Amino acid sequence: MRKGSTMKQLLTHVFLFTLFHHSFATDTLKPNEYLLDGKTLVSAKGTFALGFFSPGDSKNRYVGIWYNKLPVQTVVWVANRLSPIAATNGTLQLNGQGVLTINSKIVFPGPSVIRLNNPVAQLLDDGNLVVKEANSSEFAWQSFDYPTDTLLPGMKLGWDLRTGLNRNLTAWQSNNDPSPGSYVASIDLKGIPQLTVWSGSAKRWRSGRWINGIGFSNIPEMSSLKNGLLFKFISNEDEVYFIYNSTDPMIVSRLMVNQSGTMERFVWIDSARKWNVYWYAPNGQCEEYSPCGLFGLCEFNGSPTCSCLQGFMPKSPQEWALMDVSVRLCAPHGAGLQE
């Protein structure tokens, strides 16, 4: 065999080895390996996938996690919400200390310094991306601590009071833009802890207090939502959080806050091959936080919906019918009412 032919075959073997070495049909990323745009990590049972994607009509590329087996791509977590890549040349890497990078830049949420001796990044079947020492069950970092807009079974929504970590949901800006939007769902620690949806510093909706063994007081239908799901609310000196788990492996469910500030629980209907909205809040104007203002009363079937408590009347009757919360003000009879 000629020397040139031998060299060509050797280079071909090197190329094929390199291609195979960086092509992933696994759930784990090790140091000095990289995940190219177009390749994915897939969890052990094939439930979730991690890779690069473009949302909606956008051409920007993001690293995200989505359901691997569903025909509709449903992204449940995004790593680089504020740092999209403009081209399909992205690479996901794990360095020798256990820090994940995209195109050699640290854009993952959380601490930027993790010191591990033999780190691996692994995508688990619950949708959690974790960084840990190889052969260890302890996580040095996990995506479940840094949600985007979606709460999956087993994820905590709330506070680790020991570290100050606040796990909350933040809506996407739009279907084409996963950057943080206007609405945040979090556990409010002021007063009695409860789930609250915020728009900036303004409350849009609150769950009410947790009634042990039943659910949140402002979600009376929560008991009927337990079919196949187990809800818990933990409040102690170390942690305050809400969590749910599936008791039926056939039920695929997720909870999210959308771009309108609505909390929605979805259930996958396999026969229809689509997501079904199983529950949402606020469900109507009267479920919003203080929809009729101070001393106002909201009636589901009222016309108009808002009225004033006995002894009060609209401060500005002409503007009351506009149904703008900024002008829904009730005042005592004769207390400087506008003509």
- The encoded tokens of residue 179 equal 């950057």
* 107-to-80, 85, 124, 190, 214 alpha-carbon distances in Å: 6, 11, 21, 32, 40
Whole-number pLDDT of residue 327: 55
**Residue 183, beta-bridge partner list:** 199
Q: pLDDT band at residue 167, thresholds of 50, 70 and 90?
A: very high
Kindly state the average pLDDT of the residues 10-29.
54
Q: What is the DSSP letter of 144?
A: G
Q: pLDDT band at residue 18, thresholds of 50, 70 and 90?
A: very low
Cβ-based neighbours of 35, under 8 Å, separated by 6 or more: 22, 24, 29, 41, 50, 51, 91, 92, 93
Instruction: Point out the least confidently predicted range of 48-62, 116-130, 268-282, 315-329.
Output: 315-329
Asked if residues 203 and 289 have their Cβ atoms less than 8 Å apart, the reply is: yes
Q: What is the CA radius of gyration of the chain?
A: 25
> Is pLDDT of 17 > 50?
no
Whole-number pLDDT of residue 228: 85
Q: pLDDT band at residue 275, thresholds of 50, 70 and 90?
A: very high
- Rounded to 5 degrees, what are φ and ψ at 4? -65, -40
Q: pLDDT tens-digit profile of 210-257?
A: 997 789 988 888 877 777 899 999 999 999 999 999 999 889 999 999
Residue where the block lists tokens 């759930």: 27
> Is pLDDT of 115 > 70?
yes
- Strand, coil or helix: 65: strand
Whole-number pLDDT of residue 292: 72
| pTM for this prediction | 0.82
Q: pLDDT band at residue 24, thresholds of 50, 70 and 90?
A: low
Asked if residues 332 and 311 have their Cβ atoms less than 8 Å apart, the reply is: yes
Distance CA 4, CA 286 (A): 80
Whole-number pLDDT of residue 1: 47
Superfamily of domain 147-286: Bulb-type lectin domain (2.90.10.10)
Whole-number pLDDT of residue 9: 45
**Rama region for 62: left / alpha / beta (φ>0; ψ in -120 to 50; rest):** beta
Q: Does domain 1-146 have CATH number 3.30.420.40?
A: no
Ranges in the chain annotated CATH 2.90.10.10: 1-146, 147-286
Mean pLDDT, the chain, integer: 86
Q: pLDDT tens-digit profile of 282-335?
A: 876 666 666 677 777 777 666 666 778 777 877 776 666 555 555 557 778 765
Q: pLDDT tens-digit profile of 73-82?
A: 999 999 999 9
